[in-house]
Amino acid sequence: MTIRIFPTAQDAENAFYEALERADLEAMMSVWAEDEEIVCVHPNGPRLTGQDEVRDSWRQILAGGAGARLQVSLQAQTSGVMFAVHSVLESFAVEGEAQSAPVVATNVYLRTPAGWRMLAHHASPAPQRARGQAQAAARETPKILH
């Protein structure tokens, strides 16, 4: 596997969502830090730690293959020299299904010698207020990654 270098935290975030949309497990895991302290929480799911648990969870999620369109909006960021935290609203659309409820996600990135890598992804169902904001943002200028 070729190691990808992400020059910025935003590059790592873009790669993360592109891998999710394409259902590409190897591309997904290339974004994560090679560290046993990584943490992932899927909506309504348990806290997963370490490479094995995180990889297994994404393997199950991505097993259905590509097909979902993903829109990321309402992004808020804070960063330092060695870290970045992104808070986003994720909206998924699967062909032939009613639009799913938006998800609020927090992504934490660390600057490593191999570029920026994800340390944590925590996703939760969006509260009702955020759902309305996501719908309004989608009508204005959607940011679709593909």
Q: What is the CATH number of the domain that holds 59?
A: 3.10.450.50
pTM assigned to the model: 0.82
Report if residue 90 sits inside a domain.
yes
With respect to residue 145, please indicate whether it lies within any of the assigned structural domains. Answer: no
Give the total number of structural domains in the chain: 1
Q: For residue 17, what are the contacts with CB-CB under 8 A and spacing of at least 6?
A: 70, 72, 90, 145
Could you list the pLDDT tens digit for every one of the 146 residues in the chain? 557 899 999 999 999 999 999 999 999 999 999 989 999 999 999 999 999 999 999 999 999 877 677 888 878 999 999 999 999 999 887 666 666 778 999 999 999 998 999 999 999 998 875 545 545 554 454 444 43
Alpha-carbon distance 108 to 82, whole Å? 11
Three-point CA angle 88, 89, 94, nearest 5°: 130
Question: Does residue 65 form part of some domain?
Answer: yes
Per the structure, the complete domain to which residue 129 belongs is given by 9-140
